[in-house]
Amino acid sequence: MTPKTWLYGHKPSYSSLRDVAQGEFRPLLCEEGDIDAAAVVRVIVTSGKVYYDLLSGRTQAGLPRVPILRLEQLYPFPADALAAELRRFPQLRQVAWAQEEARNHGAWPFLREQLEGALPPGVALEYAGRPAAAPTAICNAGLHMVEQHAVVISALG
């Protein structure tokens, strides 16, 4: 099953017709819900389908104090919006960029400097994803699932 095929059947990825018709585009989707901002020490920033894997992994691990922020626009980078959101967490020490692509693929090579520029002072940036590799895909479903699980575990810290 391709990633987009999976999303079509995954209800949490749906938007209502009303949201599409009357809503607005937001370059950064922030965590909504009962998160105690004062207790947050780690935030995950991601883009794309891997968000749903991270959300599921966070629920299974029982880590409600690890917010997951979604970048919906990579260029121009929403630095001000991200910086403002990160400032909500006074105890923040780590921000992890999570992607399912290899380190030398996906958004990481472009976003690293952008993300670093949006971090509050004293906050470390980490990469959570597959190691650098020549192929863009693994081509083995079982190995892909093992690697995807490792990405989620790494991102959750």
**CB atoms near residue 155 (< 10 Å):** 26
Mean pLDDT of the region 30-37: 87
pLDDT of residue 32: 80
Q: Whole-angstrom Cα distance, residue 100 to residue 105?
A: 9
Is the pTM value of this prediction over 0.85?
Answer: yes
CATH number of 26-156: 3.40.50.11610
Is the bond into 90 cis (omega within 30 degrees of 0)?
no
Cβ neighbours for 28, distance < 8 A, ≥ 6 positions apart: 69, 70, 71, 72, 73, 78, 81, 82, 85
- Residue-wise pLDDT tens digits, 118-156: 999 999 999 999 999 998 777 888 888 888 998 999 999
- Looking at residue 141, what is its pLDDT? 85
Q: Exposed, middle or buried: residue 130 (CB in 10 Å: 0-12, 13-18, 19+)?
A: buried
Q: What is the pLDDT of residue 107?
A: 97
Instruction: Please give the average per-residue pLDDT across 38-59, as a whole number.
Output: 96
